């Protein structure tokens, strides 16, 4: 049982792009900043689209009348990353990402579309990577996440009664990679991002989950590489999970984490196994 409310938070592209063989991955969207190669320059981009839906049918007591509510979630995530060697065994990098999420509901009576939730986030990560020795690399990332949300928070409320708020969260991350001729070991710690917001004149603490990650990869030959990744999620108090009541005479309860099904999901562990095969070294 949790001693304080928490919420699942927002996704970044690292959730989609991270693989167990990231120890040698040529892409900038990595959770462990030390996984980037110091003596290299890299520019990358990524776009992800997600749609999910559910149908809910309710029946009244009079005449067996039924009405269907169709709910749809759409999510667009894109990002760009830049990484460059600046000499003396040091490299710097930057990641910029935007996430847009909508939750809407359509009723069978009039096909009217009601926008129940709208979220826009902006994520920036500034990276510093240093070669301590020929085999050991350390990395630091300073992280910033800005969110703007429109939350109806109650299926019985009209869109005009939506709650709007903004928040900016800050945090950091540390990582290390030890490389040997046929593989690497890595560890990264990204504590939860934390910030504050104001809702109906009340100050609330907000947070997104952090992560502690361990990884290893091994290449017995030039053609074959195997990877292992283990991560545990870390949660901090998030007052948005407590919800609130609308600021009028109805005092209707509002879910400040939205109405989508994933607000009930709290991942706590991730395990990954990976395999890369090189068909040609040319």
Q: What is the 3-state secondary structure (H, E, C) of 135-167?
A: CEEEEEEEEEEEEEEEECCCCCCCHHHCEEEEE
**What is the per-residue pLDDT for 1?**
31
The mean predicted confidence, pLDDT, of the chain is 78
Give the CA distances from residue 152 to residues 56, 68, 119, 160, 258, in Å, rounded to whole numbers and listed in that order: 18, 19, 12, 8, 7
Q: Which three-class secondary structure state does DSSP give residue 74?
A: strand
What value does the mean pLDDT take over residues 126-131?
90
Distances 121 to 13, 86, 126, 149 between C-alpha atoms, Å: 12, 30, 17, 9
Q: pLDDT tens digit string along 22-79?
A: 555 555 667 777 777 776 666 777 777 777 766 665 555 455 556 677 777 888 888 8
Cβ 22 vs Cβ 32: under 8 Å: yes
Structure tokens at 156: 């019985």
Q: What is the pLDDT of residue 109?
A: 64
What pLDDT is attached to residue 4?
Answer: 43
Taking residue 5's Cβ as centre, other Cβ atoms within 10 Å add up to: 14
Which residues, other chains included, contact 267 with Cβ-Cβ below 8 Å and sequence gap of 6+? 8, 209, 233
Between these two residues, 272 and 48, which has the higher pLDDT value? 272
Q: Report pLDDT for 195.
A: 92
- CA distance linking residue 226 with residue 222, whole number of Å: 11
Q: What is the predicted pLDDT for the residue at 3?
A: 37
Rounded average pLDDT over 89-116 = 80
């Amino acid at each position: 049982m949790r001693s304080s409310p928490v919420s699942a938070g927002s996704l970044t592209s690292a959730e989609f792009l991270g693989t167990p063989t990231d120890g040698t991955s040529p892409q900038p969207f990595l959770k462990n900043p030390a996984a980037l190669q110091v003596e290299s320059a890299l520019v990358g981009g990524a776009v992800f689209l997600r749609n999910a839906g559910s149908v809910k049918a309710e029946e009244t007591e009079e005449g067996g009348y039924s009405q269907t509510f169709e709910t749809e979630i759409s999510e667009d995530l894109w990002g760009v990353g830049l990484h460059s060697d600046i000499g003396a065994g040091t490299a710097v990098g930057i990641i910029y990402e935007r996430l847009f999420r909508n939750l809407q509901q359509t009723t069978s009576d009039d096909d009217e579309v009601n926008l129940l939730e709208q979220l826009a986030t902006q994520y920036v990560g500034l990276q510093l990577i240093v070669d301590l020795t020929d085999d050991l690399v350390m990395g630091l990332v300073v992280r910033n996440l800005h969110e703007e949300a429109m939350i109806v928070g109650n299926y019985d409320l009209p869109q005009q009664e939506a709650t709007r708020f903004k928040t900016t969260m800050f945090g950091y991350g540390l990582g290390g990679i030890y490389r040997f001729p046929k593989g690497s070991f890595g560890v990264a710690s990204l504590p939860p991002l934390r910030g504050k917001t104001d809702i109906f004149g009340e100050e609330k603490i907000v947070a997104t989950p952090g992560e502690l990650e361990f990884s290893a990869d091994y290449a017995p030959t030039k053609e074959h590489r195997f990877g292992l990744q283990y991560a545990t999620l870390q949660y901090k108090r998030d007052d948005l999970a407590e919800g609130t009541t609308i600021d009028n005479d109805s005092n209707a309860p509002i879910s400040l984490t939205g109405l989508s099904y994933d607000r009930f999901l709290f991942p706590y562990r991730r395990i990954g196994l990976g395999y890369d095969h090189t068909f040609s070294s040319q």
